[in-house]
């Protein structure tokens, strides 16, 4: 089943806030509710957010009471601004919305409002379908990096739940497993929202891949002990120089991997590469509600003092010097990233 899909003129999404305890599919009929769902992390993961936002724009088209194409485009532009503001770090969101808006704008003067709405929906569906195909291509390239018997560390969730289907970094692990390679996965909890412990572990159980959940702060121990052979992570935005913005904690994992000579591979569709940003210093970093930290409980009791304050930075940036290679749908990109990432994005031959 897809994480994000269109059915009965509605956008439907798996509610990722309540997994693994419950599995529910929520339905959305307007773009503002989709924007709220993205912000509230009903759906999460850069590719899944992008597809959800594209379908949200399709909903905005059907919401519009405008009879003229020009007025419809004004309504779509307003909706695109609402959707793009929901999560600023994940570049796929803006990329998908801009792509759909580009199609709508190109039809100005050529199609009536109803036809534009239909084309917007078709483009959103195209983005969703392409995501699945791209993930499987990345998985084939990335699986070649995994050897039989490897133990790998994985941070956050990058599986089917983070995409439309299949997954990025976890998709690589899944493909290697289906190729018959014996793999063991150490799953970072990924605090404070525990996407690793809740979502990645749940997915690995579905696939029958052996795993163990570890606290984020034990990754360095296993890397130094020589247990781990590779690290695989995702990305919410990758700059032109190969700096990688990903879920908070990725930078610390990359530092520990580098210090112990363990290869570190982000798995990144080219839609997540932002060639307009020279380095990761320019990537906007989201800070979320402190209650995600302060609301944690242990043994049924609140962890933090009642009057405690917290900072809740959602992402960090791993500098390219710590990155072994970046897996894309067009192949594995190696340094110099400034040259080779652009080639991958443009579909040119990689050296």
pLDDT digits (tens, 9 = 90+) for 146-184: 999 999 999 999 999 999 999 999 999 999 999 999 999
End-of-domain residue from the set 76, 105, 135: 135
Residues β-bridged to residue 331: 328
Identify whether residues 186 and 296 lie together within a single domain.
Answer: yes
- What is the pLDDT at residue 65? 86
End-of-domain residue from the set 82, 110, 135: 135
Query: Residues of the chain with pLDDT > 90: what percent?
Result: 94
The yes-or-no answer on residue 236 being catalytic is yes
Identify whether residues 110 and 159 lie together within a single domain.
Answer: no
- C-alpha distances in angstroms, 132 versus 206, 221, 312, 329, 347? 18, 35, 31, 11, 18
> Considering the entire predicted model, what is its pTM?
0.93
Per DSSP (E only), the strands in the chain are: 4-7, 10-14, 25-28, 151-154, 184-188, 211-214, 230-233, 237-239, 244-247, 264-266, 273-274, 297-298, 301-302, 315-318, 326-328, 331-333
**Buried b or exposed e, range 248-264, using 16+ CB within 10 angstroms:** bbbbbbbbbbbeeebbb
Determine the 3-state secondary structure of 329 from DSSP.
Answer: coil
Average pLDDT for residues 335-344, to the nearest whole number? 97
Q: Closest Cα partner for 163 from 194, 193, 137, 197?
A: 137
- What is the pLDDT at residue 220? 98
Identify whether residues 52 and 197 lie together within a single domain.
Answer: no
Identify whether residues 45 and 78 lie together within a single domain.
Answer: yes
Side-chain half-sphere CA neighbours of 9 within 13 A? 6
The model's pLDDT over 203-226, given as tens digits with 9 standing for 90+, comes to 999 999 999 999 999 999 999 999
Determine, yes or no, domain membership for 203: yes
∠ CA 333-89-326, nearest 5°, is 10
The model's pLDDT over 33-85, given as tens digits with 9 standing for 90+, comes to 999 999 999 999 999 999 999 999 999 999 998 889 999 999 999 999 999 99
Residues β-bridged to residue 333: 326
- What is the pLDDT at residue 274? 96
Q: Provide the pairing of β-strand 264-266 with 230-233.
A: parallel
Rounded distance between C-alpha atoms, residue 266 and residue 83, angstroms: 26
- What is the pLDDT at residue 221? 98
Identify whether residues 101 and 180 lie together within a single domain.
Answer: no
CATH of the domain at 325: 3.40.50.10470
Return the number of other C-beta atoms located less than 10 Å from residue 151's C-beta: 17
Rounded distance between C-alpha atoms, residue 331 and residue 347, angstroms: 9
CATH of the domain at 123: 1.20.120.420
The model's pLDDT over 2-28, given as tens digits with 9 standing for 90+, comes to 999 999 999 999 999 999 999 999 999
End-of-domain residue from the set 135, 166, 186: 135
∠ CA 242-243-246, nearest 5°, is 120
| Range(s) of the domain holding residue 226 | 139-346
Identify whether residues 179 and 197 lie together within a single domain.
Answer: yes
Determine, yes or no, domain membership for 351: no
Identify whether residues 68 and 152 lie together within a single domain.
Answer: no
- What is the pLDDT at residue 66? 86
- What is the pLDDT at residue 333? 98
Query: Quick check: 109 pLDDT over 80?
Result: no
Determine, yes or no, domain membership for 172: yes
Domain total in the chain: 2
Determine, yes or no, domain membership for 25: yes
Determine, yes or no, domain membership for 9: yes
Determine, yes or no, domain membership for 21: yes
Identify whether residues 124 and 231 lie together within a single domain.
Answer: no
Identify whether residues 295 and 193 lie together within a single domain.
Answer: yes
Identify whether residues 242 and 328 lie together within a single domain.
Answer: yes
Determine the 3-state secondary structure of 343 from DSSP.
Answer: helix
Identify whether residues 91 and 38 lie together within a single domain.
Answer: yes
Query: For residues 267 and 168, is the Cβ–Cβ distance under 8 A?
Result: yes
Determine, yes or no, domain membership for 201: yes
Catalytic residue among 216, 236, 274, 316: 236
Determine, yes or no, domain membership for 204: yes
Identify whether residues 215 and 249 lie together within a single domain.
Answer: yes
């Amino acid at each position: 089943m897809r994480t994000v899909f269109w059915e009965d003129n509605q956008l439907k999404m798996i509610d990722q806030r309540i997994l693994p305890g419950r599995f529910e599919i929520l339905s959305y009929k307007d773009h503002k509710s989709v924007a709220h769902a993205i912000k509230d992390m009903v759906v999460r993961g850069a590719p899944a957010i992008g597809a959800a936002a594209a379908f949200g724009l399709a909903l905005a088209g059907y919401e519009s009471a405008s009879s003229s194409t020009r007025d419809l485009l004004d309504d779509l532009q307003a909706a695109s601004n609402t959707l793009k503001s929901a999560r600023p770090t994940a570049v796929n969101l803006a990329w998908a919305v801009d792509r759909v808006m580009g199609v709508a704008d190109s039809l100005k003067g050529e199609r009536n409002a109803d036809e534009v709405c239909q084309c917007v929906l078709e483009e959103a569906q195209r983005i969703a379908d392409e995501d699945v195909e791209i993930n499987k291509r990345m998985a084939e390239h990335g699986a070649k990096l995994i050897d039989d018997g490897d133990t790998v560390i994985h941070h956050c969730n990058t599986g089917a739940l983070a995409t439309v289907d299949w997954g990025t970094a976890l998709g690589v692990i899944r493909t290697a497993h289906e190729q018959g390679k014996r793999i063991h996965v150490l799953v970072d909890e990924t605090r404070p929202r525990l996407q690793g412990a809740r979502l990645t572990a749940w997915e690995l159980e579905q696939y029958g891949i052996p795993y163990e959940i570890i606290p984020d702060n034990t990754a360095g121990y296993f890397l130094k002990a020589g247990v781990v052979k590779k690290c695989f992570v995702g990305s919410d935005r990758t700059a032109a120089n190969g700096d990688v913005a990903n879920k908070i904690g990725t930078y610390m994992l990359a530092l520990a991997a580098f210090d112990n000579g363990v290869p570190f591979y982000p798995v990144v569709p080219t839609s997540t590469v932002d060639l307009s940003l020279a380095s990761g210093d320019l990537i906007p970093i989201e800070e979320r509600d402190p209650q995600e930290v302060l609301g944690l409980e242990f043994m049924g009791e609140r962890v933090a003092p009642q009057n405690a304050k917290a900072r809740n930075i959602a992402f960090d940036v791993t500098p390219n010097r710590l990155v072994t290679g970046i897996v894309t749908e067009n192949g594995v990109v190696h340094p110099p990233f400034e040259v080779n990432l652009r080639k991958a994005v443009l579909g040119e031959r990689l050296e």
